[in-house]
Amino acid sequence: MAKVLVTHQLPGQQILQLPDHCDMNIWMGPGLLPAAGLRDELAGCEGLLCLLTDKIDASLMEANPQLRFIASMSVGVDHIDVKAATARGIVVGNTPGVLVETTADASFALLLAAARRLVEADRFVRGGHWRVENAWSPEFFTGKDVAGATLGIVGLGEVGQAVARRAAGFGMKVLAWNRTPRSVPGVEAVELDELLAASDFVSINLALGEETRNLIDERRLGLMKRDAVLVNTSRGGIVDEQALADALSHDRLAAAGLDVFEREPVPDDHPLLSLPNVVATPHIGSATEATRIKMADMAALNMLAALKHEPMPHCVNPEVYAS
C-alpha cells in the first residue's frame, strides 16, 4: 500500500477516505511541519498533501525519488517547483475556483478598511484617546470615498472579476489590466501604466510568477495618485514592499491593505508594519470555514485520484500524464 504524508490536520470529509487506499501519516503538530521535519517525514512516501506554507523544491524531490504525486491545499503553487516536479514525472494538483468569492470579499474588506481608516480608528478608541475634548472635528479621521471612485484591477481572472462585481455595487468605474486580453462586461481594459495613473484604488489579483514578480515596482508606484489606495490579496512578491513602504511613508500614496507578503510570516521589523496607513492581515483571504473545508476536500480528492492511478481532477501539470 502506498505511503503518503499529510503535512497538517485537515477539515472536511474526503480526507477520511484516504486511509482505505494508503498508509497515511498526518503531522499532528504542534504548529506547522518545519522544513527539516518535512524532509524526514517524506522519506519513503509516494504522495504528499501539503499546504502553501510547505516549500517543495527540487532538492526535496531529489531527496525523495519515490515521490510521484503532490496535492496542495491551495490555489497558487508558487511554493512548489512545478517545473522540477514535471521533469521528474511528479503530478501536482491544486484547489482552483473554490476561494474566488471569499478572496474577493477579503479584497473589498481591505479596500474599505484602508479607505475609511477603520483600523486606525479602532486603535484610537481602544487606546483611550477618544475623549470629550477631541470628540469630533471636521477633519476627524477623514478617509476616502469608495462610492463613485475608480477601481483598477490588476489581473482579471476569476477573483479579479469577482472584485469587479462588488465594485459595481458601489457605482465604481472599473479599469482592468490582464496579461492576456480579456473582455468583461462593465470593465474597461487598459494598459497597466494607464490603470495605475487613473485609479483611486488598485486591487492586485493575479498569480505570482517570474513575469509578475515585483510587477508593481518603484516606477509603477510612482505613477499612482498620491491619494490612492493599494490592496493585495494575491501573493507577496508582486509588489516591491520596500518601494511601497517608501511611498506610503512619504505621502506619495494614501494607504494600503495587505493580506500577503513576500516573506510570511512577516518579520516584526518590516517597515510596512510601523505605518499607520497600512492594514495588514495574516494571509486570510480564503479564511472562512466553508471555503477551507471545500479546499481540503478538493486536495483530498486529488490525492485519492492519484492513489487510484487516475488523473487528478485539478492538475497544474497535466503534461505529466502524456509522458
Would you please indicate which residues are annotated as catalytic (active-site) residues? Answer: 235, 264, 283
Tell me which amino acid residue 266 is: V
Cα–Cα dist 282/261, whole Å: 9
Q: What DSSP string runs through 40-87?
A: HHTTT-SEEEE-TTS-B-HHHHHH-TT--EEEESSS--TTB-HHHHHH
Peptide bond into 30 cis (omega under 30): yes
Alpha helices in 135-223 (DSSP H): 158-169, 192-198, 218-221
Give the DSSP H/E element, type plus range, for residue 203.
strand 201-204
β-sheet bridge partners, residue 177? 154
Q: How far apart are the first and last CA of the chain?
A: 24
Tell me which amino acid residue 43 is: A
Tell me which amino acid residue 225 is: K
Contact residues for 318 (Cβ-Cβ < 8 A; gap 6+): 311
Residue 318: count of CB within 10 angstroms of its CB: 12
